[in-house]
Amino acid sequence: MAFFKKSKKDTSLSLKDIQLPLHIGIIMDGNGRWAKKRGLPRTAGHTAGAQTFRRIARYCSDIGIKYLTVYAFSTENWKRPKEEVDAIMKLFKEYMIEAINDFQDDSIVVKFIGDRTVFSDDMLELIEKNENDSKDRDGMVLNIAMNYGGRDEIVHAVKDIFADIQNGKLTADDISDQLLSDYMYTKSQPDPDLIIRPSGEYRTSNFLLWQSAYSEYCIMDVLWPDFKSEHLDEALIDFAKRNRRFGGV
């Protein structure tokens, strides 16, 4: 993967001048620091970050992005204080209820990626309703990574492949890069071309480890609640100027 840090704004290009990436990922980072800078509880940062997510997801759909994957809650985030985790889960539930109504007139296809076994029955019901209600839409695919970890995803894929070898559906000779991709949560989707990380941190944080082998990374010095469509435009324009060789010359 390649990293580059957004610095000076380039005003020589606009979105109409470039070819957009097919699939972008966003690590929605910086909610807690945003709140701390303002003397607010971390939960206030997550509330502000949720509003940014709604705005940016719709903007991506409007400009023609085909796939958007957002990192909302990792398998490691359960280590945070219970009050903070409970607040995030409350926001997640509110979003799912809201999305059932708000997205019904949108073309966005909603998918949830991650380990669902930890969620309550009412949460699972809302997840399934969002997915079922949106599955026949023809617009942008929005992947929301909840209780997601890249290593955990690979482990799940390997276990599923092993089970299918044991029951005779596969043989060891069938194992390939493509087969592994077909067992990931994002199966049938293209790998992300660009992954954006607000907050200025240089870490993948266990996000789409398998899928991001040749992704370009854009690190931006803006906390997620302050992230605007203009920041996304800058990242997309910078990405368009990259020379992607995929291991070649």
Q: Bridge partners of 73?
A: 146
Cα radius of gyration rounded to whole Å, the chain? 18
List, for residues 110-163, the tens digit of each pLDDT value: 999 999 999 989 999 999 999 999 999 999 999 999 999 999 999 999 999 999
Active site residue: 77, 133, 160, 226, which one?
77
Sign of torsion over alpha carbons 168, 153, 204, 103: positive
Confidence of residue 1 (pLDDT cuts 50, 70, 90): very low
Q: Give yes or no: 29 in active site.
A: yes
Q: Which residue did the predictor score with more confidence, 83 or 181? A: 181
DSSP assigned state of 191: P
Given a contact cutoff of 8 angstroms between Cβ atoms, the answer to whether 6 and 218 are in contact is yes
Active site residue 147: no
Answer whether 218's CB lies under 8 Å from 194's CB: yes
Whether 215 and 194 have beta carbons less than 8 Å apart is answered as yes
Query: Which two structure tokens, joined as six digits, stand for 108?
Result: 């966005």
Q: Of 114, 166, 117, 119, which Cα lies nearest the Cα of 143?
A: 114
Please pick, among 29, 106, 193, 238, the residue that the annotation labels catalytic.
Answer: 29
Delineate the domains of the chain, giving CATH numbers in brackets.
2-149+188-240 (3.40.1180.10)
Provide the pLDDT confidence category of residue 4 given band limits of 50, 70 and 90: low
At 169-187, the pLDDT tens digits run: 999 999 999 999 999 999 9
- Residue 6 pLDDT exceeds 80: no
Length of the chain: 249
**pLDDT of 11:** 55
